[in-house]
Amino acid sequence: MDRCERNPAALAGGAPVGSRVRPLLLWRIPEIGARALREGRRRSRSLERRAESLFLEAARSLLRGSDRLAHRSDSDLFVAYLDVRGRSGASQRVALPVDLRGALERIAARLHARLDHAVLVGWTYVAPAELARDPDAALHEALRRGERERERVAFLAAVGHELRTPLSSIRGYIETLLDAPHDAPTARRFLEIAQSETLRMARLVDGVLEFSLLDCSALHLADARCDLVAVVRRAIRSLDPALVHAGTRVELRGARRLAVALDEDAAMHVVLNLLQNAVVHGARAGEIVASLARVPPFARLRVDDDGAGIPPEERARVFQRGARIGSGDGRGLGLGLAIVESIVARAGGELSVGDAPLGGARFEILLPLQAEKGGAES
């Protein structure tokens, strides 16, 4: 392990035909490419050469001598292709992901400490023949896997942070009740707050589970059908306690019936999330307008509120996992809108956000119309 191959395809050299998959580890230093654009190739090559030297040094101390390394010139990618055979040379063992992440992070930490630049990591399994035939596909898959894992870690960190908030509140109120006697009205108020935080935490956990299920399965839409107008009416009725508490009025406008190609449970989830967001982020004692229309081949639902709205620069990310919406008041993790986006996309629809005539946010959904049994759209 005294040098880096210039062509990642060369990492597969010498492997027996039919060899099983091996781990391919990847480190990316984005500053190399950024510096080339900002200051020219000469300055970026200086950083690139130093990074390669440090990469070799770290790999020699943390990887095995039979592992092979690669780095293309004028590239911000550094690659290791691991030899996972046992001492006998005949082992078919494949390194576990937890072992790969350990090696990735240790080398990344050394590079970051010496270069003071961000180091992104990725990994995949690839057979020598596939690596020799199409090294770029293997590198792309490693980058893609690394990006997915970074998103997952960030998402779980956001969930953990959000769970700590209601847990701290619940614990604080319970400890206050236990530490000293309180009159009945005060004790009841503390318990009601603790109950509200418990329900909020339960909704968060439910959202995480629902998102996991949506990630693992597709909606069965071949025979899916419901009346979107009826779903909106039921959703408004189910939110009646929250509407009364907030003093919010909901006006339903437009079509009297819209048959859409989505099952009722999924449609109810979509509508409830949009209406709940409008209640939470709308003005106190404010107004919400839900309007429905037929715009073939879609049914359109618009939910308008009179809150602060969503700044244009934040609209591109409001449907991402973990994204918060609104003015940063800490309410909501963004799971609900991410789930809504997933359901609508899988149904073949569209979801967008903009300005509402009431002054707040407008969420607009387009869902495919479902043909009636006679062939005509409802």
| Least reliable range by pLDDT among 49-58, 127-136, 154-163 | 154-163
pLDDT reading at 86 higher than 50:
no
Structural domain contains residue 92: yes
d(CA 336, CA 303): 15
| CATH classification of the domain holding 196 | 1.10.287.130
Residues 356 and 326 in one domain: yes
Quote the pLDDT of residue 196: 75
d(CA 82, CA 65): 10
**Domain end among 216, 243, 258:** 216
The values of phi and psi at residue 19, to 5°, are -60, 145
C-alpha pair distances (Å), 74 with each of 36, 44, 55, 203, 228: 9, 8, 15, 49, 55
Helices (H), 217-305: 228-238, 240-246, 264-281
* Number of independent structural domains in the chain: 3
| Least reliable range by pLDDT among 122-136, 206-220, 322-336 | 322-336
Sign, CA dihedral 41-46-47-50, equals: positive
Residues 257 and 362 in one domain: yes
d(CA 347, CA 330): 31
**Domain end among 196, 216, 236:** 216
Q: Are the beta carbons of 290 and 253 closer than 8 angstroms?
A: yes
Quote the pLDDT of residue 91: 46
Identify the band that residue 192 occupies on the pLDDT scale cut at 50, 70 and 90. confident
Identify the band that residue 249 occupies on the pLDDT scale cut at 50, 70 and 90. very high
| CATH classification of the domain holding 290 | 3.30.565.10
Quote the pLDDT of residue 54: 96
Structural domain contains residue 142: no
Mean pLDDT along residues 33-56: 92
**Domain end among 74, 104, 133:** 133
Structural domain contains residue 139: no
Quote the pLDDT of residue 93: 53
Mean pLDDT along residues 75-97: 69
Residues 95 and 123 in one domain: yes
| Least reliable range by pLDDT among 8-12, 186-190, 295-299 | 186-190
For residue 104, the SS3 value is: helix
Q: Is 213 left (phi over 0), alpha (psi -120 to 50) or beta?
A: alpha
Instruction: Please classify residue 10 by burial: count the beta carbons closer than 10 Å to its beta carbon, then call 0-12 exposed, 13-18 middle and 19+ buried.
Output: middle
Q: Are the beta carbons of 168 and 145 closer than 8 angstroms?
A: no
Residues 254 and 325 in one domain: yes
Helices (H) and strands (E) in the chain, counts: 10, 11
* Other residues' Cβ atoms within 10 Å of the Cβ of residue 353: 20
Quote the pLDDT of residue 353: 92
Residues 193 and 242 in one domain: no
Structural domain contains residue 174: yes
pLDDT reading at 53 higher than 60:
yes
Quote the pLDDT of residue 266: 81
pLDDT reading at 363 higher than 50:
yes
| Secondary structure (DSSP) of 229-245 | HHHHHHHHHHTHHHHHH
Residues 249 and 122 in one domain: no
Q: Are the beta carbons of 359 and 306 closer than 8 angstroms?
A: yes
Q: Name the token pair of 206.
A: 């439910």
| Least reliable range by pLDDT among 88-92, 188-192, 282-286 | 88-92
Contacts of 284 (CB under 8 A, 6+ apart): 246, 247
Structural domain contains residue 125: yes
Structural domain contains residue 190: yes
Quote the pLDDT of residue 295: 93
pLDDT reading at 332 higher than 60:
no
pLDDT tens digits, residue range 276-318? 889 988 998 899 999 999 999 999 999 999 998 888 888 877 7
Residues 46 and 17 in one domain: yes
d(CA 226, CA 368): 11
Structural domain contains residue 378: no
Residues 207 and 239 in one domain: no
Quote the pLDDT of residue 373: 41
Does this model's pTM top 0.75?
Answer: no
pLDDT reading at 378 higher than 60:
no
Residues 230 and 263 in one domain: yes
> Domain limits at 179?
152-216
Structural domain contains residue 302: yes
* Other residues' Cβ atoms within 10 Å of the Cβ of residue 330: 10
Quote the mean pLDDT of the chain.
Answer: 82
| CATH classification of the domain holding 99 | 3.30.70.270
Residues 202 and 246 in one domain: no
d(CA 292, CA 290): 7
Identify the band that residue 58 occupies on the pLDDT scale cut at 50, 70 and 90. very high
pLDDT reading at 328 higher than 50:
no
DSSP bridge partners of 371? 377
Residues 178 and 202 in one domain: yes
Residues 325 and 257 in one domain: yes
Q: Are the beta carbons of 124 and 294 closer than 8 angstroms?
A: no
Quote the pLDDT of residue 18: 57
Strands (E), the chain: 22-28, 68-70, 77-81, 120-126, 226-227, 249-254, 259-260, 287-295, 298-305, 350-355, 361-368
Per mean pLDDT, which of 64-73, 152-161, 369-378 is the most reliable?
Answer: 64-73
pLDDT tens digits, residue range 200-248? 677 667 666 665 555 544 444 556 789 999 999 988 888 887 788 889 9
For residue 336, the SS3 value is: helix
